[in-house]
Amino acid sequence: MEVYIVKVRVKATFELLGRGVNFNIYDLSENSLKAFEYDKESLDYLYMLLKTYEKGRELDFSKFIQDKYRQCIVINYPDYPLPGSCFLDGTPLVNLGMLKATYLTDFSPADVYAAFAYSILFSNYVKNKPFKEDLVDQITLFIFNLMMSMYAKSSGLVGTYQNLAPKLRYIISLYTWQGLFGYKLDDSANRKLMASTHVDTTGMKLNYDFSSPAQFLRCIRDNGIIAISDNKFATDVIKYGKITSIPLFEDLSRMFTTLLCMSIKGNNLFSSYWSKKSKNIYDKMYYYGIRGLK
């Protein structure tokens, strides 16, 4: 398992989702989910909902996911807080249990479509690992803008303490490098990140494990940039972008999956908050996500 996780640069579990069922890639057998699977009649109804949503619509990834609907394992697993995952072999795992609907007729076509798209897109990124080192700066900038949109005003990062903003961007670059891409954070990498963010690190506290989002947030707090804990950050992310946005900050494949699914109009699973706050940057990230479909 650990070898596989390192190879695809994804994490086995999430930290910010809290305790409970928070796996990233499902590492047990398909048989272990038999009790939660939908029967054939129910699946046929769900496929009909997918066709209903697709009628008259064309997304940039529509054709990519259409041929993969029937490859998905579809379950009702309420304990898992996300609309999808995938197996170790890359088979998409759709979870409609997080919709909290009693009957199939309660499902909206947009939500079902979003859940299938999420699982299929995520599976693609896990299997193909399309995101390369040249995206580190772009992803750092994207996360920096999201965090500034949430905390800049309350923390004085656009006023009295604006000198702290470059340090925030530098800390984010450390997390992007090690926590999202899984690269080794050595002296050479550190010099490169310092140069790209134009920051003087003199006096900064940097002895943290930047593979951990909790440690990353602690570094931000301990350096007096934003008074934030991992619990507060998770709560704020849910407030702005729903629970499906939390993995956006923990896993590279989940990030691009979430960004693409924001374009699915009418769904209640993904908030458009992040795309509206930094539209030019979001548009670039969206492009990289589409480019990574193979």
243 domain residue, yes or no: no
Q: Residue 1's pLDDT is what?
A: 38
- CA–CA gap between residue 140 and residue 151 (Å, rounded): 16
Q: Which two tokens stand for residue 274?
A: 């992040």
**Does some domain include residue 190?**
no
- How crowded is residue 107: how many other Cβ atoms within 10 Å of its Cβ? 16
Identify the pLDDT of residue 7.
Answer: 46
pLDDT band at 2 (very low <50, low <70, confident <90, very high): very low
User: Is residue 31, in this structure, part of any structural domain at all?
Assistant: yes
Question: How far out from the chain centre does Cα 120 lie?
Answer: 14
> Does any domain span residue 194?
no
Q: Smallest Cα–Cα separation from 29: which of 97, 116, 91?
A: 91
| Predicted pLDDT of residue 100 | 87
The 3-class SS string of the chain reads: CHHHHHHHCCCCECCCCCCCCCECCECCCHHHHHHHECCHHHHHHHHHHHHHHHCCCCCCCHHHHHCCHHHCEEECCCCCCCCEEEECCCCEEEECHHHCCCCHHHCCHHHHHHHHHHHHHHHHHHHHCCCCHHHHHHHHHHHHHHHHHHHHHHHCCCCCCHHHHHHHHHHHHHHHHHHHCCCCCCHHHHHHHHHHHCCCCCCCCCCCCCCCHHHHHHHHHHCCCCCCCHHHHHHHHHHHHCHHHHHHHCCHHHHHHHHHHCCCCCCCCCCCHHHHHCHHHHHHHHHHHHHCCC
Residue 275 inside a domain? The answer is: no
> Would you say residue 3 has pLDDT above 60?
no
Q: How many CB atoms lie within 10 A of CB 23?
A: 15
Is residue 139 a part of any domain in this protein? no
Q: Is 259 a member of any domain?
A: no
pLDDT tens-digit readout, 95-148: 999 998 889 999 999 999 999 999 999 999 999 999 999 999 999 999 999 999
Say whether pLDDT at 56 is over 80. Answer: yes
Q: Do the domain assignments include residue 167?
A: no
Residues in the chain, overall count: 294
pLDDT, the chain, mean: 92
Interval 149-187: pLDDT, tens: 999 999 989 877 788 999 999 999 999 999 999 999 999
Q: Please tell me the total count of domains within the chain.
A: 1
Range of the domain at 7: 2-128
